[in-house]
């Protein structure tokens, strides 16, 4: 008998935690050669780490996500929205917290508790802005490894993530294969296509064209809300599918019976995108969008994924992979997932692949789906 997520036992109240490291003069050296420190990562944990410390799963969030992957905070009002993957993480769920210790860190460069361009630069006492050094997905994963080391975990039972989170999964497998027992990449890619880079550049240009952006020095004044809202609208379109928009909106008008014959939001889809844009400016930082999109554009593990080997030269247990794609995802379409699978197989890796039929587009992995839940539960629980 299937038990829906909302009828399953829930997590106890969760608490956001912080880890600070790379204190000067021992700053972290980024791939660009720049030095950054101190660095703070916000993170949350669910479940308990066992005595052997071998039951940990790292959950990597997508582009605009955060460390709040599941559960509710003690201070949440009744009905407060839980974490972004609450249907997947918890007692008896796909990632069962009765079995696994789950860690979800907020990525470097974000504005949701971790060090990023909106953080105070200790050298000036003001927000970094564009003085924040350019970072990569590799730099993001390096900071996550520092957190995992801090928690005393030598090997992860698994690393899992969707979209940009999936990029982090692949980077973990490339950079620290000896630490990863399994990797699950969902709706992701080994590198951005020209199409994905193009949409990210439109988003960045919309922010930088806003007169309030002021070359990133808008903190303490008017923010580039219009540019950021447009950037979010552009991104949101790529997360949906033609079928999903047709089914939900079609050409239906918004609270009217005829056209305005002007530039009001006549259609429901226009109103929806404007709403998504306005919501985003209240919770995210424009400069973080610039840095995270650029990091994802730089990401390219096609060559290293084809020759994964243990960095210390020792014979470790081989990493097992699960690659998941969606039929209606046109941002990271199935052909890119299949390229990843072929690359892993050519290098002798143990990889499973599943394409899930869904008409809701790239964001399908964020929507409750028993098929994905069952797939992930079976994969993690079935590791020999």
Annotated active-site residue in 163, 188, 241, 328: 163
According to DSSP, the β-strands at 28-29 and 35-36 are: antiparallel
Q: Which of 350, 357, 315, 318 is nearest to 334 (CA)?
A: 357
Element (H, E) at 320: strand 320-326
According to DSSP, the β-strands at 89-90 and 28-29 are: unpaired
User: How is residue 348 written in tokens?
Assistant: 């002798």
Cα-based angle 229, 230, 233 (whole degrees, multiple of 5): 90
User: How is residue 45 written in tokens?
Assistant: 């944990």
362 catalytic residue (yes or no): yes
Annotated active-site residue in 114, 188, 362, 369: 362
329 catalytic residue (yes or no): yes
* Dist CA 71 CA 289 (whole Å): 26
User: How is residue 139 written in tokens?
Assistant: 């730099």
User: In DSSP terms, which residues pair with 119 in a beta bridge?
Assistant: none
Residues whose CB falls within 8 Å of the CB of residue 36, separated by 6 or more in sequence, listed in order: 22, 27, 28, 30, 115, 132, 133, 135
Cβ atoms < 10 Å from Cβ of 248: 13
Q: What is the dihedral of CA 39, 45, 51, 57, to 10 degrees?
A: -90
Annotated active-site residue in 86, 210, 285, 329: 329
Q: What amino acid positions are annotated as catalytic residues?
A: 163, 329, 362
């Amino acid at each position: 008998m299937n038990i829906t997520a909302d009828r399953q036992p829930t997590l106890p109240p969760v608490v956001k935690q912080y880890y600070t490291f790379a204190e000067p003069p021992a700053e972290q050296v980024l791939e660009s050669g720049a030095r950054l420190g101190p660095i703070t990562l916000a993170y949350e944990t669910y479940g308990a780490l066992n005595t052997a410390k071998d039951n940990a799963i790292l959950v990597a969030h997508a582009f605009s996500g955060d460390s709040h992957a599941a559960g509710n905070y003690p201070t949440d009002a009744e009905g407060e929205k839980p974490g972004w993957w609450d249907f997947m993480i918890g007692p008896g769920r796909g990632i069962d917290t009765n079995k696994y210790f789950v860690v979800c860190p907020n990525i470097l460069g974000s504005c949701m508790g971790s060090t990023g361009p909106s953080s105070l630069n200790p050298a000036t006492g003001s927000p970094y802005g564009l003085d924040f050094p350019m970072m990569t997905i590799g730099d993001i994963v390096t900071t996550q490894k520092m957190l995992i080391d801090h928690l005393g975990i030598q090997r992860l039972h698994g690393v899992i993530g969707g979209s940009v989170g999936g990029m982090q999964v692949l980077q973990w497998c490339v950079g620290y294969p000896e630490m990863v027992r399994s990797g699950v990449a969902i709706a992701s890619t080994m590198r951005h296509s020209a199409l994905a880079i193009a949409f990210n550049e439109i988003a960045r240009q919309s922010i930088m064209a806003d007169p309030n952006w002021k070359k990133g020095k808008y903190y303490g004044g008017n923010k580039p809300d219009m540019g950021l809202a447009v950037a979010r609208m552009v991104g949101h379109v790529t997360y949906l599918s033609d079928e999903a928009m047709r089914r939900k909106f079609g050409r239906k008008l918004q609270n009217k019976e005829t056209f305005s014959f002007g530039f009001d939001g006549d259609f429901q889809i226009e109103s929806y995108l404007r709403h998504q844009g306005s919501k985003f400016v209240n919770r995210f930082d424009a400069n973080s969008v610039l840095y995270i999109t650029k990091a994802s554009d730089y990401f390219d593990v096609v060559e290293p994924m084809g020759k994964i080997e243990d960095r210390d030269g020792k014979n470790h247990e081989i990493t097992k992979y699960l690659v998941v794609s969606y039929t209606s995802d046109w941002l990271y379409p199935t052909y890119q997932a299949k390229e990843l699978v072929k690359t892993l197989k050519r290098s002798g890796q143990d990889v499973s692949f599943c394409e899930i039929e869904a008409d809701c587009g790239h964001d399908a992995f964020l929507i409750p789906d028993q098929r994905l839940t069952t797939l992930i539960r079976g994969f993690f629980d079935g590791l020999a």
